[in-house]
C-alpha cells in the first residue's frame, strides 16, 4: 500500500518522450523519484535562500528599518549576492584546528538537515517522495544526527568560544530532544501511525486538526522546536554577545554557509513536522470539494496548503527571534527539565486517560487500527483538552515550580523617590 | 585566585579555563579586555585589562591653553560629550570665580539633559542587545537620532559636540530650537512605553536581570560607585541635588533609587532618570530667560589664580570630577579627571563572581562603561 505513493502520476508516465523508451517499473522507482528529489532540492534550497532575505526584511520592518533593497528590484537578488560572496570568500582553516573533522562537520550538519526532507509529506499522493513506516522516528533520529556536526565543528575549531558553543549545543539538544519526542506521543495516539503521510490522512479522515486535541503537545513541540534549531530566544550555542559566534566562530566562506543553510533547513523541517502532526498537513477542510481528490490540481493545491502553513510557522520563528531577549544557559535547562518534560508526560497520561474514558462511554470507536469519533466524541476530547488538560498542567507545574520562579513573583513597582538626602553618605 | 578541586573524583585533572574576553568582543563596549577564569561556565575569578584606548589626555592638557583643552573633553566620554565639556568649563569658571548669565545656564542644562537622554538611550540599546533583545536596540537608536539632530543643529557635530566656552556659550539657540526640543519631549514618553512593553514584564528579561550582579549599598560606597549603579543599590546620591550647579536648584525633579542593587533595579533607575530628564528639559524650556550668553567679565586670556580646584558634576554615568592645579600660567600645571566609568568598572569583579559567562555580559552592560573615559 505504501508503494502507492512512490508511483509516478499518470500524466508523468504518459509523457511521450519517456513512455516509449523507459520501462514503467524503472519509471516509477528510478526516474520519478529522481525528478522529485531534484525538484525538492531546487525548491527547498531556493526557499532557504529566500528565507534569509525574508528574515532580514521582516526584522527590518519590526525594527523600523528598510532592510536590503540594493541588489535587484526591492533587494530580491540579495540571496544570490550573498551566496556568491560566501563562495568567493577566503576559506580559512585555523592552524591548530583538527583539519579532517573541521572540514567534515559542516557537511554532516547540512546532510542531516537535507535527508530529513525526504520523508516530509509535502502534498497528497505523488506530492510526497517517500512514506516510510518509521517516518517520525526517522526525522527525530536524523535531526539529532545534525547536532553531531555542531559539536564536532565546535571541538575541531580548537577555540574556546567554539568549544563553549558546542557544549551548550550538546546539552540543549539532549534536553529538548526528549521534550520534543514526548510532545509528539499524544498526537500519535490519535493517528495511530508513525508514517507521516498516514498521519495527514488520518486527520483528513477525522476531518479535524490534531492541534484541537493536543494544545499542550503543540505548544511543547513548538517551543522545543525553536530550541532544537538554535533560534532565539534559545540561540545560546551561537549567542553573539557572549560567545562571539559560538560553534561557527572559526568558520568562514562556504563552510559557514553550510552551517547557515542547515539552520534554516532545520527550521523548515521543524515547521513542516509541526504542520504535519498538529496542523493537518496538506489537509484543509473543503479542499476536496473544490478539486477532485487525486487529481493533479488537488495535489498541487495540497502542496500549496502545506507550504502556506509552513511559512506561517516560519514567520512565527522570525517574530520570536526579533522580539525576545535570550535565555541563559541554566534557565534554558530549567525550562526543559522542570516545565517541558513534566508537562509532556502529564499530557500523555491525560490524553490516554481521556481516550480510554471516551471508549468506555461509547463516544469513540477503535476500528481497523484507526479511531472513529461520534460528534459527542469530538466535543468530549476537545473540551477535555482545553478545559482540563491545559489548566491542570499549568496549575500543577506552577505549584511545583513555585520556588524556582520566585524571581518573577516580585511585582514591578514604581521606584521610591526623594528620600531625605543624607549628606554623610 | 580561588582554586577548585573536585573532591569526588580526585584522579581527574580539573583545570579552570582561562577565557580572554576582548579587547575585540561584541559586548565589552569598546576595547575592554576581561580575563575570565571559568569552572564550566561559572565565573571563578576575573580580571579587567584596560588601556587599549589610552591617549594621554591628562598629559596633553598640561601643554595646552585653557581654551584649547576644552575640545579634548569631548573625546573622553564620547557618548556624553556635552556633560564632559560642561564639567571642564565649570571647573575653570570655578577657579576664576566667574558668574555665568542665566540664559547660558539654562541652555547648558537643556543640552546636558538631552545628552543624558542620548547617553541613557545608548546604554539601553546596548544593554538590551547584550541580553539579546535586538529590536529594542534599533528602537532606542531611532530616538537617539532625534537628539543627535538637535545637537547637529546646535553644535554642528553629532558626537563630539562642543559649544560651551569658559564664561558662557559660543552660540545662542538657533531658530526653532525650543520647538524642536519640545516636539521631541512630547513624543518621548510614548517611546519609553514601547521599550518597557518589550522589557519590563518580559519573563526572559526578568530572569536575566533580577538578582544578577547584586551589590549592597555598603559595598557600593566602599568601591566608590556613583551614578545609577549607586542609586540602584538604594542610596539617593545625585550631585545635581546634593551640590547643585548651574540652575539645577531652580528646577524640580526627583531622584529615583532602587532597593536590591541588582541589574533590574539599575535598569529601572535609568529608565526613570530618562523621564526625570525630560521633566527638567521641559521646565528649563519654559523658564528660559532672554539675555546675554557670555559673562561680561570673561577674560580673553585665562589665567586661574594659583591653587587647587575640584569640581564635579553628575554625568550620565556618575560623578565626573576634574581636579585642577593651577600655577597661575595659561596652562594647567596638572589636570586630573575622575571618570565615573573607571571607578564603576571596579565593581565588575565583585558583581560577577559566581555568575555565568552570560551574566558577565549583562553586568558589563548594566555598569554602562565607556572605554574612552576609562583609558583617557
Give ipTM to 2 decimals: 0.77
A contacts of B208 (beta carbons < 8 Å): 325-328, 331
User: Mapped to the 3 state alphabet, what secondary structure does chain B carry?
Assistant: CCCCCCCCCCCCCCCCEEEEECCCCCCCCCCCEEEEEEECCEEEEEEEECCCCCCCHHHHHCCCCHHHHHHHHCCCCHHHHHHHHHHHHHHHHHHHCCCCCHHHHHHHHHHHHHHHHHHHHHHHHHHHHHHCCHHHHHHHHHHHHHHHHHHHHHHCCCCCCCCEECCEECCCCCCCHHHHHHHHHHHHHHHHHHHHHHHCCCHHHHHHHCCCCCCCHHHHHHHCCCCHHHHHCCCCCCHHHHCCCCCHHHCCCCCECCCCCCHHHHHHHHHHHHHHHHHHHHHHHHHCCCCCCECCCCCCCCCCCCEEEEEEEEECCEEEEEEEEECCCCCCCEEEEECHHHHHHCHHHHHHCCCEHHHHHHHHHHHCCCHHHHHC
Distance separating alpha carbons of residues B366 and B261, to the nearest angstrom: 11
pLDDT tens-place string over residues B258-315: 888 888 888 888 988 898 899 899 999 888 888 888 888 878 888 888 889 999 998 9
Q: What is the mean pLDDT of residues A28-37?
A: 77
At B20, give phi and psi (nearest 5°): -95, 110
How long, in residues, is chain B? 376
Residue B357: closest C-alpha in chain A: A242
Q: What is the mean pLDDT of residues B189-216?
A: 84
A contacts of B235 (beta carbons < 8 Å): 425
Best of B132, B145, B230, B271 to substitute, by most chain A Cβ atoms within 10 angstroms, is B132
| Nearest-CA distance B128 → chain A (Å) | 7
Residue B365: closest C-alpha in chain A: A241
Indicate whether A209 pLDDT > 60: yes
What is the architecture of the domain spanning B57-343? Orthogonal Bundle (1.10)
What cell does A5 get? 505513493
Distance separating alpha carbons of residues B148 and B155, to the nearest angstrom: 10
Reported confidence tier of residue B1, pLDDT bands at 50, 70, 90: very low
Residue B213 and residue B351 in contact, taking contact as beta carbons nearer than 8 Å: yes
Residue A76 has a pLDDT of 86
* Cross-chain Cβ contact B26/A241 below 8 Å: yes
Q: By a Cβ cutoff of 8 Å, what residues of chain A touch chain B?
A: 59, 62-65, 160-161, 164, 232-233, 235-236, 239-244, 322-331, 407-408, 410, 412, 415-419, 421-423, 425
Reported confidence tier of residue A20, pLDDT bands at 50, 70, 90: low
Residue A404: closest C-alpha in chain B: B207
How far is C-alpha A28 from the geometric centre of its chain's CA atoms? 30
B contacts of A158 (beta carbons < 8 Å): none
Residue A13 has a pLDDT of 65
Nearest to A328 among B138, B142, B208 (CB): B208
Span of A14-28, A219-233, A350-364, B97-111 with lowest mean pLDDT:
A14-28
* Cross-chain Cβ contact A326/B208 below 8 Å: yes
Residue A422 has a pLDDT of 44
Nearest to B135 among A322, A327, A330 (CB): A322
Distance separating alpha carbons of residues A133 and A195, to the nearest angstrom: 5
Residue A234: closest C-alpha in chain B: B132
| Nearest-CA distance B17 → chain A (Å) | 9
In DSSP notation, A54-91 reads: HHHHHHHHHTT-----SSSGGGTTHHHHHHHHHHHS--
- For residue A186, which of A65, A336, A374, A348 has the smallest C-alpha distance? A348
| Nearest-CA distance B297 → chain A (Å) | 34
Residue B121 has a pLDDT of 92
Number of C-beta neighbours around residue A381 at 10 A:
24
Residue A154 and residue A169 in contact, taking contact as beta carbons nearer than 8 Å: yes
Q: Percentage of residues in chain A with pLDDT exceeding 70? A: 87
* Cross-chain Cβ contact B138/A408 below 8 Å: no
Q: How many CB pairs under 8 A join A and B?
A: 118
Nearest to A415 among B132, B268, B356 (CB): B268
Distance separating alpha carbons of residues B328 and B336, to the nearest angstrom: 17
pLDDT tens-place string over residues B218-233: 888 888 888 898 888 8
Residue B129: closest C-alpha in chain A: A241
- For residue B102, which of B153, B168, B185, B58 has the smallest C-alpha distance? B168
Residue B41: closest C-alpha in chain A: A164
- For residue A102, which of A155, A145, A60 has the smallest C-alpha distance? A155
What are the beta bridge partners of residue B33?
B49
What are the domain boundaries of chain B?
Answer: 57-343
Q: What is the mean pLDDT of residues A173-178?
A: 84
B contacts of A422 (beta carbons < 8 Å): 236
How long, in residues, is chain A? 425
Residue A324 has a pLDDT of 86
Span of A66-70, B37-41, B74-78 with lowest mean pLDDT:
B37-41
B contacts of A154 (beta carbons < 8 Å): none
* Cross-chain Cβ contact B208/A327 below 8 Å: yes
Task: Calculate ∠ Cα A319-A284-A8, nearest 5°.
Answer: 105
What are the domain boundaries of chain A?
Answer: 2-403
pLDDT tens-place string over residues A234-269: 877 676 667 777 778 888 888 888 888 888 888 888
Q: Please enumerate in sequence order all residues whose Cβ is within 8 A of that of B175, keeping only pairs 6 or more positions apart, or say none.
A: none
* Cross-chain Cβ contact A417/B257 below 8 Å: yes
What cell does A247 get? 560553534
A contacts of B138 (beta carbons < 8 Å): 63-65
Which strand (E) or helix (H) includes residue A187? helix A160-191
Residue B293 has a pLDDT of 84
Indicate whether A411 pLDDT > 60: no
Distance separating alpha carbons of residues A105 and A162, to the nearest angstrom: 13
User: Mapped to the 3 state alphabet, what secondary structure does B88-150 carry?
Assistant: HHHHHHHHHCCCCCHHHHHHHHHHHHHHHHHHHHHHHHHHHHHHCCHHHHHHHHHHHHHHHHH
Indicate whether A412 pLDDT > 70: no
B contacts of A408 (beta carbons < 8 Å): 203, 206-207, 210
Distance separating alpha carbons of residues A206 and A213, to the nearest angstrom: 12
B contacts of A406 (beta carbons < 8 Å): none
Best of A241, A333, A408, A414 to substitute, by most chain B Cβ atoms within 10 angstroms, is A241
Nearest to B134 among A322, A327, A415 (CB): A322
Distance separating alpha carbons of residues B310 and B324, to the nearest angstrom: 6
Whole-prediction pTM: 0.83
Greater confidence (A348 vs A27) lies with A348
Q: What is the mean pLDDT of residues A84-95?
A: 84
pLDDT tens-place string over residues B309-347: 999 998 998 889 999 998 888 888 888 998 898 998 888
* Cross-chain Cβ contact B358/A326 below 8 Å: yes
Span of A358-367, B59-68, B140-149 with lowest mean pLDDT:
A358-367
Indicate whether A129 pLDDT > 80: no
How far is C-alpha A96 from the geometric centre of its chain's CA atoms? 35
Distance separating alpha carbons of residues A298 and B283, to the nearest angstrom: 69
Reported confidence tier of residue A410, pLDDT bands at 50, 70, 90: very low
Q: What is the mean pLDDT of residues A102-114?
A: 88
Distance separating alpha carbons of residues B304 and B185, to the nearest angstrom: 39
Nearest to A425 among B26, B132, B237 (CB): B237
What cell does B67 get? 581654551
**Average pLDDT in chain A:** 80
Indicate whether A196 pLDDT > 80: yes
A contacts of B27 (beta carbons < 8 Å): 241-242
pLDDT tens-place string over residues A309-331: 999 999 998 888 888 888 887 78
Nearest to A415 among B130, B202, B257 (CB): B257
Residue B169 has a pLDDT of 87
Q: How many CA atoms lie less than 13 Å away from B44 in the CB half-sphere?
A: 14
* Cross-chain Cβ contact A407/B207 below 8 Å: yes
- For residue A56, which of A79, A23, A85 has the smallest C-alpha distance? A79
Distances from the Cα of A286 to the Cα of A126, A200, A282, A371, B71, angstroms: 20, 15, 12, 21, 73
Maximum Cα–Cα distance across chain B: 81
Q: Which residue has the cell 546604554?
A: B123
| Nearest-CA distance B24 → chain A (Å) | 9
Residue A240: closest C-alpha in chain B: B26
B contacts of A65 (beta carbons < 8 Å): 138
Under the phi-then-psi rule, with left for phi > 0, alpha for psi from -120 to 50, and beta for the rest, what region is A70?
A: alpha
At A367, give phi and psi (nearest 5°): -145, 130
Amino acid at each position: 500500500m505504501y508503494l502507492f505513493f512512490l508511483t509516478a502520476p499518470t500524466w508523468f508516465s504518459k509523457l511521450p518522450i519517456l513512455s516509449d523508451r523507459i520501462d514503467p517499473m524503472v519509471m516509477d522507482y528510478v526516474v520519478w523519484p529522481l525528478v522529485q528529489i531534484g525538484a525538492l532540492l531546487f525548491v527547498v534550497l531556493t526557499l532557504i535562500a529566500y528565507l534569509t532575505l525574508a528574515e532580514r526584511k521582516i526584522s527590518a520592518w519590526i525594527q523600523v528599518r528598510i532592510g536590503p533593497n540594493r541588489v535587484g528590484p526591492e533587494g530580491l537578488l540579495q540571496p544570490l549576492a550573498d551566496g556568491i560572496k560566501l563562495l568567493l570568500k577566503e576559506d580559512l582553516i585555523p592552524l591548530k584546528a583538527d583539519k579532517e573533522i573541521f572540514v567534515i562537520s559542516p557537511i554532516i550538519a547540512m546532510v542531516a538537515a537535507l535527508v530529513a526532507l525526504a520523508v516530509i509529506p509535502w502534498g497528497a499522493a505523488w506530492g510526497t517522495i517517500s512514506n516510510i513506516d518509521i517516518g517520525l522516528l526517522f526525522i527525530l533520529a536524523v535531526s539529532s544526527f545534525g547536532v553531531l556536526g555542531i559539536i564536532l565543528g565546535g571541538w575541531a575549531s580548537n577555540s574556546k568560544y567554539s568549544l563553549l558553543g558546542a557544549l551548550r549545543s550538546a546539552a540543549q539538544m539532549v534536553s529538548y530532544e526528549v521534550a520534543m519526542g514526548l510532545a509528539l506521543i499524544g498526537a500519535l495516539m490519535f493517528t495511530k501511525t508513525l508514517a507521516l503521510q498516514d498521519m495527514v490522512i488520518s486527520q483528513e479522515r477525522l476531518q479535524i486538526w490534531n492541534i484541537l486535541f493536543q494544545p499542550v503537545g503543540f505548544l511543547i513541540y513548538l517551543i522545543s522546536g525553536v530550541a532544537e534549531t538554535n533560534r532565539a530566544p534559545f540561540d545560546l550555542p551561537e549567542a553573539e554577545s557572549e560567545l562571539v559566534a559560538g560553534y561557527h566562530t572559526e568558520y568562514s566562506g562556504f563552510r559557514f554557509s553550510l552551517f547557515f543553510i542547515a539552520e534554516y533547513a532545520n527550521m523548515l523541517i521543524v515547521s513542516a513536522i509541526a504542520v504535519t502532526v498538529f496542523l493537518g498537513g496538506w489537509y484543509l477542510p473543503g479542499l476536496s470539494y473544490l478539486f477532485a481528490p487525486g487529481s493533479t490540481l488537488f495535489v498541487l493545491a495540497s502542496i500549496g496548503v502545506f507550504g502556506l502553513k509552513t511559512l506561517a510557522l516560519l514567520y512565527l520563528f522570525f517574530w520570536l527571534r526579533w522580539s525576545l531577549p535570550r535565555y541563559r544557559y541554566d534557565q534554558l535547562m530549567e525550562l526543559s527539565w522542570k516545565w517541558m518534560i513534566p508537562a509532556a508526560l502529564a499530557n500523555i497520561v491525560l490524553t490516554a486517560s481521556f481516550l480510554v474514558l471516551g471508549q468506555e462511554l461509547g463516544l469513540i470507536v477503535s476500528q481497523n487500527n484507526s479511531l472513529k469519533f461520534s460528534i459527542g466524541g469530538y466535543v468530549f476530547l476537545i473540551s477535555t483538552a482545553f478545559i482540563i488538560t491545559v489548566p491542570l498542567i499549568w496549575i500543577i507545574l506552577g505549584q511545583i515550580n513555585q520556588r524556582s520562579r520566585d524571581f518573577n513573583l516580585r511585582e514591578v513597582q514604581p521606584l521610591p523617590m526623594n528620600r531625605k538626602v543624607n549628606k554623610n553618605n | 585566585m580561588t582554586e577548585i578541586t573536585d573532591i569526588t573524583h580526585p584522579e581527574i585533572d580539573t583545570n579552570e579555563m582561562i577565557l580572554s574576553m576582548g579587547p575585540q568582543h561584541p559586548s565589552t563596549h569598546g576595547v575592554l579586555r576581561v580575563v575570565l577564569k571559568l569552572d564550566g561556565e561559572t565565573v571563578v575569578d576575573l580580571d579587567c585589562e584596560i588601556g587599549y584606548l589610552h591617549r594621554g589626555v591628562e598629559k596633553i592638557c598640561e601643554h595646552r591653553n585653557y581654551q584649547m583643552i576644552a575640545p579634548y573633553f569631548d573625546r573622553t566620554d564620547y557618548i556624553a560629550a556635552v556633560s564632559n565639556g560642561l564639567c571642564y568649563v565649570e571647573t575653570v569658571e570655578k577657579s576664576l570665580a566667574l558668574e555665568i548669565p542665566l540664559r547660558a545656564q539654562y541652555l547648558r542644562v537643556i543640552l546636558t539633559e538631552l545628552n543624558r537622554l542620548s547617553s541613557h538611550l545608548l546604554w539601553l540599546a546596548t544593554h538590551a542587545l547584550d541580553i539579546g533583545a535586538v529590536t529594542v536596540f534599533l528602537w532606542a537608536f531611532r530616538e537617539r537620532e532625534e537628539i543627535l539632530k538637535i545637537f547637529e543643529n546646535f553644535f554642528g557635530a553629532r558626537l563630539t559636540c562642543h559649544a560651551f566656552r569658559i564664561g558662557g556659550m559660543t552660540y545662542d539657540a538657533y531658530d526653532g530650537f525650543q520647538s524642536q526640543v519640545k516636539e521631541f519631549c512630547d513624543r518621548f514618553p510614548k517611546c519609553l512605553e514601547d521599550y518597557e512593553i518589550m522589557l519590563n514584564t518580559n519573563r526572559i528579561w526578568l530572569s536575566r536581570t533580577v538578582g544578577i550582579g547584586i551589590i549592597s549599598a555598603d559595598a557600593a560606597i566602599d568601591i566608590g560607585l556613583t551614578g545609577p549603579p549607586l542609586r540602584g543599590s538604594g542610596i539617593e546620591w545625585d550631585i545635581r541635588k546634593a551640590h547643585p550647579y548651574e540652575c539645577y536648584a531652580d528646577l524640580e525633579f526627583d531622584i529615583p533609587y532602587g532597593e536590591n542593587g541588582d541589574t533590574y533595579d539599575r535598569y529601572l533607575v535609568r529608565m526613570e532618570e530618562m523621564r526625570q530628564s525630560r521633566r527638567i528639559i521641559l521646565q528649563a524650556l519654559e523658564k528660559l530667560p532672554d539675555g546675554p550668553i557670555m559673562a561680561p567679565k570673561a577674560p580673553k586670556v585665562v589665567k586661574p589664580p594659583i591653587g587647587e580646584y575640584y569640581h564635579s558634576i553628575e554625568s550620565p554615568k556618575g560623578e565626573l570630577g576634574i581636579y585642577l592645579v593651577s600655577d597661575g600660567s595659561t596652562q594647567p600645571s596638572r589636570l586630573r579627571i575622575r571618570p565615573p566609568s573607571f571607578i564603576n568598572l571596579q565593581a565588575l569583579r565583585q558583581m560577577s563572581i559566581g555568575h555565568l559567562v552570560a551574566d558577565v555580559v549583562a553586568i558589563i552592560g548594566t555598569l554602562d562603561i565607556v572605554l574612552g573615559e576609562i583609558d583617557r
